[in-house]
């Protein structure tokens, strides 16, 4: 069987979802049009571990239009949209993903992608790359390069490079300005709130929201939470970012202090046990814990279970823990990315930008394969300009061009007051 999905009969629903996403992903469709003519991936297999969402479906079809064979598994056990997975499988695309995968299935599906011997890998979180390096190193000579979607994955790749463990070239797609300034900021900002709302339907106005991490994601979440009338507290370990948060008008304090005030908590750091047992012991009755960082280790869920005498699912994606003190704490989506588990992930418009980055990164790898080394690369700056120009055109927005006089002025040092 070329697929493992929840229910192949969901394919027609998946088709409608993908059609709707396409209508908002004009920039990526322009890349698809060019790929369809030039076929940059003819004869190549692209293996993916990405969230299987409608937007990813649009990326898959774009790479196929460019001549690739695409094979896909999920990069998170809870983020798959089963109708989209069914659609891809029904089209004959090897697809291994369902929402609610066991850990064993999660890795089995990543291995199923590896079995297709990809020439290019696309990862979100670096699990596919690390699995290849740790257990299937014999395939590495066949691999031209890979692309990584997210901050946490890039941090892992940089650690691999420093350890001399990285054996094929990787492109840090998250480093594109058209990725982290939009996807992480606007995308995570909006969809994290969406996930919390779908899971709880709680009113944000008047609540205190604690955002851990004032990076690109955290800033987006803080801004949207404030926009809905919440008081926002930021926690940080980086002095510059803490200062930025303070000057953006948020309260900044250590998590141990913030824990006492928060009604809703969102971790967005990429780190481990950002919310830990000592914090939970300080929390108010009814506190809601959620995470939008890549892995589910930001909230110590095992610790929460140990503090508790009872645990029950009160709504889909919302589990109530009753602590020995009889206070209740609610954990959303098992501490996994709440925007993908409880909602649909980022809106199509921002994924269009991110996935233009993925598509163009794959093309860049093919064009430069002979000279690339096993390192983490960033794409040349003109790629960002190309993606932004496509998106602006799609949005019907025109901008100015510098005049000859302005260019000359910008490049010279002689002219002063």
Question: Which residues contact ligand NAD (rule: CB under 6 A)?
Answer: 150-152, 180, 183-184, 188, 212-218, 235-238, 241, 268-271, 274, 292-294, 337, 339-340
**How many angstroms from the chain centroid is the CA of residue 311?**
29
Residues written for the chain: 417
Q: List CB contacts of 230: < 8 A, sequence separation 6 or more.
A: 204, 205, 206, 207, 208, 209, 264
Residue 91 or 241: the one with the smaller Cβ distance to ligand NAD is 241
Q: List CB contacts of 309: < 8 A, sequence separation 6 or more.
A: 322, 323, 324
- Please answer whether residues 362 and 46 qualify as being in contact, where contact means their C-beta atoms are separated by less than 8 angstroms: yes
Residue 7 or 238: the one with the smaller Cβ distance to ligand NAD is 238
Backbone angles phi, psi at 59, to 5 degrees: -65, -45
Q: Could you tell me the CA-to-CA distances from 144 to 44, 89, 365 in Å, in that order?
A: 10, 26, 7
The rounded distance, in Å, linking the Cα atoms of 346 and 267 is 17
**What b-and-e string marks burial along 48-74, b requiring 16 or more CB atoms within 10 Å of the CB?**
bbbbbbbbbbbbbbbbbbbebbbbbbb
Smallest distance from the beta carbon of 16 to ligand NAD, in angstroms? Answer: 23
Residue 45 or 208: the one with the smaller Cβ distance to ligand NAD is 208
Smallest distance from the beta carbon of 149 to ligand NAD, in angstroms? Answer: 8
Residue 247 or 399: the one with the smaller Cβ distance to ligand NAD is 247
Smallest distance from the beta carbon of 4 to ligand NAD, in angstroms? Answer: 24
Smallest distance from the beta carbon of 272 to ligand NAD, in angstroms? Answer: 8
Smallest distance from the beta carbon of 31 to ligand NAD, in angstroms? Answer: 21
Smallest distance from the beta carbon of 130 to ligand NAD, in angstroms? Answer: 15
Residue 194 or 236: the one with the smaller Cβ distance to ligand NAD is 236
Backbone angles phi, psi at 137, to 5 degrees: -60, -20
Residue 16 or 272: the one with the smaller Cβ distance to ligand NAD is 272
Smallest distance from the beta carbon of 378 to ligand NAD, in angstroms? Answer: 15
Residue nearest to ligand NAD (CB): 215
The rounded distance, in Å, linking the Cα atoms of 101 and 67 is 30
The 3-state DSSP class for residue 403 equals coil
Smallest distance from the beta carbon of 271 to ligand NAD, in angstroms? Answer: 4
Residue 151 or 391: the one with the smaller Cβ distance to ligand NAD is 151
Tokens of 27: 């920039």
Residue 58 or 144: the one with the smaller Cβ distance to ligand NAD is 58
């Amino acid at each position: 069987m070329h697929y493992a999905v929840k229910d192949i009969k969901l394919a027609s629903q998946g088709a409608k979802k993908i059609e709707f996403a396409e209508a908002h992903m004009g920039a990526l469709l322009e890349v698809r049009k060019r790929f369809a003519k030039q076929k940059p991936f003819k004869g190549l297999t692209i293996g993916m571990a990405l969230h299987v969402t409608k937007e990813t479906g649009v990326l898959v079809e774009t790479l196929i239009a460019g001549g690739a064979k695409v094979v896909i598994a999920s990069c998170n056990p809870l983020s798959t949209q089963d109708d989209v997975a069914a659609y891809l499988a029904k089209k004959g695309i090897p697809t291994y993903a369902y929402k609610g995968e066991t850990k064993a299935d999660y890795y089995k599906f990543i291995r199923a992608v590896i079995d297709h011997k990809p020439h290019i890998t696309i990862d979100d979180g670096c699990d596919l790359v690390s699995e290849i390096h740790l257990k299937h190193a014999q395939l590495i000579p066949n691999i031209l390069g890979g692309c990584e979607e997210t901050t946490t994955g890039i941090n892992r790749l940089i650690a691999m490079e420093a350890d001399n463990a990285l054996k094929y070239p990787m492109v840090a797609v998250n480093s594109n300005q058209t990725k982290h300034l939009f996807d992480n900021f606007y995308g995570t900002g909006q969809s994290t709130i969406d996930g919390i709302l779908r899971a709880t339907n709680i009113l944000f106005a008047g609540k205190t929201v604690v955002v851990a991490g004032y990076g690109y994601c955290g800033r987006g979440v803080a801004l949207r939470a404030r926009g809905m009338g919440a008081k926002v507290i930021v926690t940080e370990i980086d002095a510059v970012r803490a200062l930025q948060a303070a000057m953006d008008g948020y309260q900044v304090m250590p998590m141990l202090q913030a824990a006492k005030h928060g009604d809703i908590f969102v971790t967005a750091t990429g780190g481990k046990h950002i919310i830990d047992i000592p914090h939970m012991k300080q929390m108010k009755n009814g506190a809601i814990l959620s995470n939008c960082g890549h892995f589910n280790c930001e909230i110590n869920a095992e610790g929460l279970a140990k503090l508790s005498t009872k645990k029950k699912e009160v709504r889909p994606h919302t589990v109530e823990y009753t602590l020995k003190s009889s206070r209740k704490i609610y954990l959303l989506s098992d501490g996994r990315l709440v925007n993908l588990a409880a909602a649909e992930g980022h809106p199509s418009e921002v994924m269009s930008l991110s996935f233009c980055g993925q598509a163009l990164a794959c093309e860049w790898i093919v064009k430069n394969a002979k000279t690339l080394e096993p390192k983490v690369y960033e794409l040349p700056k003109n790629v960002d300009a190309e993606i932004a120009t496509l998106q602006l055109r799609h949005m019907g927005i025109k901008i100015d061009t510098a005049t000859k006089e302005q260019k000359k002025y910008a490049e010279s040092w002689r002219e002063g007051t």
